[in-house]
Amino acid sequence: MYPQPIGLYDPAREHDACGTGFVASIDGVASHEIVQAALQCVCNVTHRGAVSADAKTGDGAGVLTQIPQPLFAKVLRELKAGPVPPPADLAVGVFFLPQDPAVRETAQRLAEAAITGRGLRLIGWRDVPVDPSVLGDKARKTLPVIRHALVARAAAIAADDFERQLFLVRRRIEQSWERERLAGCYVPSFSSKTIVYKGLLVAPQLARFYHDLSDPDYASAIAVFHQRYSTNTFPTWFLAQPFRFLGHNG
């Protein structure tokens, strides 16, 4: 009934849960092919996720990759917001923001204050190109405004302390949102090393929804993919996985 044990596979460990896995370049070379392989893999585990009654709203799907440096080099040129930092000194925060313009403006203002308060330079905000038409009704009605905050490391911050500072910034942002009781705010990832593209999707919608994932300049040497099957929580944009650092399969 099952294949024989081979490599990391052992039929004794068969369990039903979320669909998750990873693709990596053994030589560590970033390429768009790695991203394409991960997107194909997550589509191959669509059956491991749940679907809403509208037959289009998924329980969540996403990928975690390295920051695609060629893509964001292009984004930085388009922003024209001062000196371009070296790749290792660039961080990208992924923000799910409220649909309400007034609440969204407050949420961004608090985020900017937290970023500059830690001595980091906010290069600018980027509207992530998406196609809401591929979503199911529930996912489209609850769709947050998705933006990237591009942040540069300041000279006063040591290179090996950059990730720690970004973690502290994210926590301060979240705490300020909680104090102001702002609803509909979430940070899927904030790092100089990795970035998360996720949503209330089924896997085949992922690359069609996020235009970045189809861009040939989106290159990574690693990709963690995840198709979610929730067993104890209602699906939301925030709970769609992978997590900020990994994806789990329950």
41 as an active site residue: the answer is no
Cα separation, 192 vs 156, in Å, equals: 16
How far apart, in Å, do the first and last CA atoms of the chain sit? 24
If you write DSSP's letter for every residue of 19-71 in order, what string do you get? EEEEEE-TT---BHHHHHHHHHHHHHTGGGS-B-TTSS-BS-EEEEEE--HHH
Q: What angle do CA 194, 160, 71 make, to 5 degrees?
A: 30
Asked if residue 206 lies in contact with residue 130, where contact means CB atoms within 8 angstroms, the answer is: no
The single residue of 18, 41, 43, 185 carrying the catalytic annotation is 18
Asked if residue 162 lies in contact with residue 90, where contact means CB atoms within 8 angstroms, the answer is: no
Residues 6+ apart with CB under 8 A from 149: 92, 93, 95, 111, 115, 122, 125, 126, 190
Strands (E) in the chain, as ranges, are 19-24, 61-66, 90-97, 121-127, 145-152, 186-191, 194-199, 222-227
Which residues are identified as catalytic? Answer: 18
